[in-house]
């Protein structure tokens, strides 16, 4: 979706309103699918099966065993339905093809639009059911709430996310808003202006870059009000938004901040709760868009007439703000490309979250599998998908913990 918007700008063309609505509808369905997969397959095992359970059970199949096959099927069907919406609107659910410069290549038929309406309504019900489940399993469990609020899983950073003109979260479009550790707005900038605000630092020991706010500069892997390190993804989006644009999600948004001690929330594991509230927001937004008759309009494309040149496109990907920037030759063939991918924004924060969790959980050099998993939980709150954001490299969670004694000698090494 970010590439589609970048290419609109490369060709200097604005899609008609119907095309924008179809794209946002498709994109909200993508958020629904991705958030369901992330929560149920990657986060729920730690909460539903338990953070110290054996790794043989601590997985999506273990979750299904615990909540029952019927509930498991409900999860599977809800995600499948969101994929179906993406297939209708995108041509394919994964790697959609319908975004073209100036609009989309196809509008849904009346029957397809009706199907999307029904799926959207069902998705709202599913999101509410998920929040109910989260309430029962996590929020009503004192020790889980303590874990979420614990210092082990808390770091204070700046936050970044896309908001609309009323400072409300929007996944598809808007301006980038950044707030500080106290929740105060630092800057709001147009996507095309991103190079004035973000730069990337490199280190010889990793393929992954470290984006930071230019205003503060790169001060190393340290936090504090002078640090340029910021976070993106669900928790960050909540911290930069004044409210959510749909009624049911807004109620949960208020409860979220009330429960967790007001804005901004710095508790990394709260990402999971925010993710489920975003699931509800995206589903409600699908209902609004699917009930808009304009999505049946034939006016879905503005044909580009200008010579292509350069463009930036930004969306909120499920795991954070996603920047695409292309320069092309006069044929529209890319000559220069720059991507700042969702999770990449969180690279420095992930390093610091893992460090803090390890320091809090590992005592006297004793590390069990359970402790290792609890350290990994600090990582999983952001993203299971690290290879993507490093653009090319290893498809695994590259976590190695060296346990050292007070002389700095390694006494044990734990690896995934």
Partner 1 sequence: MAKPKVAVYWSAACGGCDVKVLDTNEKILDIAAAVDLLFWPIALDFKYKDVEEMADREIDLCIINGGIRNSEQEHIVKLLRRKSKVVAALGACAISGGIPALANLYDAQSILDYVYHKTTSIDNFQGPLPQPEYDAPEGRLTIPKFYDSVFALDQMIDVQYYIPGCPPPPSLIVKALTAFLQGTLPPPPATVAGEGSVCDECPRERNREAKVKKWKRIAQFTPPADTKKCLLDEGFFCLGPATQAGCEALCIKANIPCEGCMGKPQGVTDRGSKMLSYIASLTDASTEEEAKKILNDVVDQAGLLYRFDLPKSLIGGRRKE
| 155-194 positions binding partner 1, by CB under 8 A | 194
Would you say 35 or 266 has its CB closer to partner 1?
35
Among the listed residues 136, 150, 206, 368, the single contact to partner 1 using CB under 8 A: 206
Among the listed residues 19, 64, 279, 375, the single contact to partner 1 using CB under 8 A: 64
Q: Is 258 in the site for partner 1 (CB under 8 A)?
A: no
d(CA 233, CA 319): 5
Phi-psi region of 406 (alpha: psi -120 to 50; beta: other; left: phi over 0): alpha
Among the listed residues 3, 91, 216, 294, the single contact to partner 1 using CB under 8 A: 91
Among the listed residues 20, 25, 35, 83, the single contact to partner 1 using CB under 8 A: 83
d(CA 96, CA 126): 24
**Interacting residues with partner 1 between 332 and 361 (CB under 8 A):** 332-333, 336-338, 340
Among the listed residues 114, 203, 242, 251, the single contact to partner 1 using CB under 8 A: 203
The DSSP secondary-structure symbol of 307 reads P
Give the containing element (helix H, strand E) for 248: helix 247-259
Would you say 166 or 416 has its CB closer to partner 1?
416
Q: x/- contact string, 363-402, with partner 1 (CB under 8 A)? A: ----------x----------xx-xx--xxxxxx-x---x
Cβ density class 302-323: b for 16+ within 10 Å, e for less? bebeeebeebbbbbbbbbbbbb
* Residue 20 neighbours by CB under 8 Å, 6+ apart: 172, 173
Q: Which one of 96-104, 146-154, 235-243, 285-293 is the stretch in contact with partner 1 (CB under 8 A)?
A: 96-104
Among the listed residues 58, 158, 272, 356, the single contact to partner 1 using CB under 8 A: 58
Q: How far is the CB of 46 from partner 1 (least distance, A)?
A: 10
Task: Compute the C-alpha angle 144/147/152, nearest 5°.
Answer: 165
* Residue 152 neighbours by CB under 8 Å, 6+ apart: 356, 357, 360, 361, 378
Among the listed residues 6, 18, 44, 93, the single contact to partner 1 using CB under 8 A: 93
d(CA 242, CA 115): 33
Q: Which one of 86-94, 148-156, 170-178, 219-227 is the stretch in contact with partner 1 (CB under 8 A)?
A: 86-94
Among the listed residues 201, 248, 255, 263, the single contact to partner 1 using CB under 8 A: 201
Q: Which one of 82-90, 128-136, 256-264, 314-322 is the stretch in contact with partner 1 (CB under 8 A)?
A: 82-90
Would you say 165 or 333 has its CB closer to partner 1?
333
Confirm if 394 and 371 have CB atoms less than 8 A apart.
no
Total residues at interface with partner 1 (CB under 8 A) = 76
Best CA proximity match to 221, nearest among 234, 208, 233, 237? 208
Q: x/- contact string, 216-235, with partner 1 (CB under 8 A)? A: --x-----------------
Confirm if 254 and 277 have CB atoms less than 8 A apart.
no
Q: How far is the CB of 381 from partner 1 (least distance, A)?
A: 15
Residue with tokens 């199907």: 115
Q: How far is the CB of 110 from partner 1 (least distance, A)?
A: 15
Q: Is 41 in the site for partner 1 (CB under 8 A)?
A: yes
Among the listed residues 12, 37, 122, 137, the single contact to partner 1 using CB under 8 A: 37
Q: How far is the CB of 148 from partner 1 (least distance, A)?
A: 20
Q: How far is the CB of 195 from partner 1 (least distance, A)?
A: 6
Inter-CA distances, 42 with 62, 92, 129, 218, Å: 11, 24, 18, 32
**Interacting residues with partner 1 between 302 and 331 (CB under 8 A):** 303-304, 308, 325, 331
**Interacting residues with partner 1 between 262 and 301 (CB under 8 A):** 301
Among the listed residues 209, 275, 285, 356, the single contact to partner 1 using CB under 8 A: 209
The pair of structure tokens assigned to 289 is: 């868009």
Would you say 242 or 329 has its CB closer to partner 1?
329
CA 124, 130, 135, 136 torsion-angle sign: positive
Confirm if 399 and 415 have CB atoms less than 8 A apart.
yes
Q: How far apart are the first and last CA of the chain?
A: 33
């Amino acid at each position: 979706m970010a590439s589609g918007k970048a290419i609109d700008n490369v060709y200097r063309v604005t899609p008609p309103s119907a095309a924008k609505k179809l794209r946002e509808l498709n994109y909200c369905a993508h958020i629904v699918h991705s958030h369901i997969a992330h929560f149920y397959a990657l986060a729920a095992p730690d909460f539903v099966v338990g953070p110290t359970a054996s790794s043989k059970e601590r997985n999506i199949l273990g979750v299904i065993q615990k909540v029952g096959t019927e509930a498991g099927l409900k999860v599977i069907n809800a995600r499948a339905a969101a994929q179906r919406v993406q297939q209708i609107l995108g041509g394919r659910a994964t790697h959609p093809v319908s975004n073209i410069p100036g609009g989309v290549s196809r509008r849904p038929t009346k029957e397809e639009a009706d199907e999307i309406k029904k799926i959207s309504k069902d998705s709202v019900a599913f999101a509410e059911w998920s929040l109910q489940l989260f309430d029962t399993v996590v929020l009503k469990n004192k020790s889980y709430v303590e874990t979420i609020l614990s210092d082990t899983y808390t770091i204070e950073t700046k936050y970044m996310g896309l908001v609309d003109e009323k400072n409300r979260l929007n996944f598809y479009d808007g301006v980038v808003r950044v707030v500080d550790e106290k929740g105060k707005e630092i800057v709001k900038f147009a996507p095309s202006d991103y190079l004035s605000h973000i730069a990337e630092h490199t280190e010889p020991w990793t393929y992954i870059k470290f984006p930071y706010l230019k205003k503060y500069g790169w001060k190393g892997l340290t936090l504090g009000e002078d640090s340029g390190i910021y976070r993106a993804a669900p928790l960050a989006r909540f911290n930069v938004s004044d409210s959510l644009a749909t009624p049911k999600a807004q109620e949960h948004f208020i409860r979220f901040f009330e429960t967790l001690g007001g804005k901004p929330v710095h508790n990394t594991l709260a990402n999971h709760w925010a993710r489920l509230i975003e699931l509800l927001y995206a589903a409600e937004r699908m209902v609004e868009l699917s009930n808009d008759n304009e999505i049946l309009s034939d006016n879905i494309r503005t044909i580009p007439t200008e010579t292509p040149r350069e463009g930036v496109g930004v969306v909120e990907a499920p795991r954070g703000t996603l920047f695409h920037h292309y320069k092309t030759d006069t044929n529209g063939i890319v000559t220069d490309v720059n991507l700042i991918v969702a999770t990449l924004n969180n690279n420095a924060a992930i390093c610091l979250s893992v460090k803090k969790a390890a320091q809090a959980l590992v005592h006297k050099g004793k590390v069990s599998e359970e402790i290792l998993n609890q350290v990994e939980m600090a990582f999983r709150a952001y993203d299971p998908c690290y290879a993507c954001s490093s653009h090319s490299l290893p498809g695994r969670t590259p976590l190695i913990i060296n346990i050292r004694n007070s002389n700095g000698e390694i006494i044990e090494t734990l690896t995934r």
